[in-house]
Amino acid sequence: MNVVEQTWNWFTDPASWGGSGGIWIRLAEHLGYTGMVLGISVVVAVPIGLWLGHTRRGGNVVIGLTGALRSLPTLGLLTLFALWIGIGLTAPVLALVILAVAPLLANAYAGVAAVDPAVVDAARAQGMKEWQILFTVEIPNAVPVLFGGIRNAALQIVATVTVMAYIDLGGLGRFLIDGLAVRDYSRMVASMLLAAVLALALDGILALVQRMLTSPGLVKEES
């Protein structure tokens, strides 16, 4: 097909890779936004989720809140914030953080709340303080679920950052939005491929990190 060939030509053209609007820069921008949003979201959502999970209270609040957050359309938030704040990083980052908070909060809560109460009670019986229980017992036990949330959030951010190019932002979405504006499909295909590869690579790296952070006692034997 024609578009496949054009896309190939675009990828093999050195001009596509270098320069201020080249693939390398766009990739770096995309990763930068993703990292920033993920960082902010983790700082906002994870402590709250962990604490609520530790107290084993507020389960309904968390479920309700994450459900509500999930139902907010990111494009709507982006346009709304942009009209209020103007162009620049703030509006898109804010919209993306709201998107990413839901899975992080839900999984941080679920991870801790799901730790076997017998284990927690045992720790308490040994005279551990509450914060010790949280940090040395519950969080290590919650790592797999917590990381599930982080990986989910990261995937969603990587995919959605592309939409943010709608309003003066770099990243791989530039190829998509600029290509769309002049009906250059090859660039849009390229944008899609690059975003997918980036998402897969990021997910792979996070999976590795997860494996390193997970306590050996939690790794299920091959069944």
Residue 70 touching other proteins (CB under 8 A): yes
Residue 73 touching other proteins (CB under 8 A): yes
Q: Within 10 A of 219 (CB to CB), how many other CB atoms are there? A: 10
| Interacting residue with other proteins among 144, 155, 210, 214 (CB under 8 A) | 155
- The dihedral region occupied by 86, where left means phi > 0, alpha psi between -120 and 50, and beta the remainder, is left
Could you give the CA distance from residue 34 to residue 12 in angstroms, rounded to a whole number? 26
Stretch that binds other proteins, among 9-17, 54-62, 114-122, 174-182 (CB under 8 A): 174-182
Stretch that binds other proteins, among 32-40, 76-84, 121-129, 133-141 (CB under 8 A): 76-84
Stretch that binds other proteins, among 48-56, 65-73, 121-129, 137-145 (CB under 8 A): 65-73
| Residue 79 tokens, joined | 């346009």
CA contacts within 13 A on the Cβ side of 213? 16
Residue 87 touching other proteins (CB under 8 A): yes
Per this entry, what is the length of the chain?
223
Nearer to other proteins, 36 or 193 (CB): 193
Residue 77 touching other proteins (CB under 8 A): yes
Could you give the CA distance from residue 80 to residue 57 in angstroms, rounded to a whole number? 33
